[in-house]
A = this chain, B = another copy of it.
């Protein structure tokens, strides 16, 4: 195990060790925005692999591996958040976990498993991590940010033995070591406090909020909107009615005092405008419902405007509609 400055440094260290400029990283589309930043800093290319409600689609992974190989590029690893994915909220099923691992093994592709949310399951235990199924080909990254406090900046990597020392040396060159003060606080917390009970409390709070969000979406969203139903974690991924652009709609949403993250941030290629990430972890249920009510209002207005401008042949609306239509996401159907 290598202790890191949160999950972010864990990712950065793995990228630093493995990636050369021009290398390809396979990753779910959409994926964690901070991972895209790391891969971009390493001058790697991200090839997105689509998901559905059961997580990463194995056939699509095989296809992506083949396409990268055909193009003469070198895929170094699959970066995946198999459990309560950020931002999609979906979880790779038991059966698919084995298939994804087999595919990667056959292709000689390392797996970087990012698991910040695995402890935050609402409906029974999450499937066991990929790392627990294959020790050698999988890097397992996690953090105390979602289960203790993000401000501690303490995470870890479980790495195959052969590269552990390289990760330590890379970390020393970068930061010497993570704050010993923060590490000591977490060690004391884990050894003296009922942290398993605390996790249960988080799970109950977040489950209640997820339920509130899903109920409000079902009651209030305009026709044509769809969304994922997470079994844990912090996020719901919503797909907007045809033609709506989450990024363009953002200023009006903020004016209505409701916020989300537009889908575009979660793709390396600028697609995703037809989606948004909704985070249910912080507001209590009644505020979640109020937020969805306001968001639905903004979307209704937007749809009405589109209709008016569409009838008038309005340029702005067409352009905006076009931008969303031009960007078919490789992501969730």
Contact = CB atoms under 8 A, between A and B. Distances in A.
Chain A at the B interface: SS class: helix
Nearest to A151: B180
A31 interface: no
Interface in A94-150: 149-150
Contact of A151 (B38, B40, B172, B179): B179
A153 B175 contact: yes
**A: interface residue count bin:** 20 to 34
Contact of A181 (B34, B149, B173): B149
A215 interface: no
A154 B170 CA distance: 19
Contacts of A150: 180
Contacts of A153: 175-181
Contacts of A177: 153
A230 interface: no
A193 interface: no
Contacts of A172: 8, 34, 37
Contact of A175 (B8, B169, B180, B181): B8
B181 A151 contact: yes
A176 B8 contact: yes
A192 interface: no
Copies assembled: 2
B41 A175 contact: no
Interface in A159-180: 169-170, 172-180
A253 interface: no
A154 B5 CA distance: 12
Contacts of A149: 181
Contact of A179 (B34, B170, B181): B181
A12 interface: yes
A185 interface: yes
Nearest to A174: B12
A270 to B, nearest CB: 18
A170 B40 CA distance: 11
A12 B179 contact: no
A151 B181 CA distance: 6
Looking at A40, A176, A185, the one whose CB has the most chain B CB atoms below 10 A away is A176
A316 interface: no
A264 B182 CA distance: 34
Contacts of A151: 179-181, 184
A149 B153 CA distance: 18
A8 to B, nearest CB: 4
A179 B184 CA distance: 13
Nearest to A176: B8
A173 B44 CA distance: 14
A64 interface: no
Sort A-B residue pairs by CB-CB distance and give the 8 closest, nearest first.
A151-B180, A5-B175, A37-B173, A153-B179, A179-B179, A179-B182, A8-B176, A41-B173
5 contacts: A5-B175, A8-B176, A9-B174, A38-B173, A178-B179
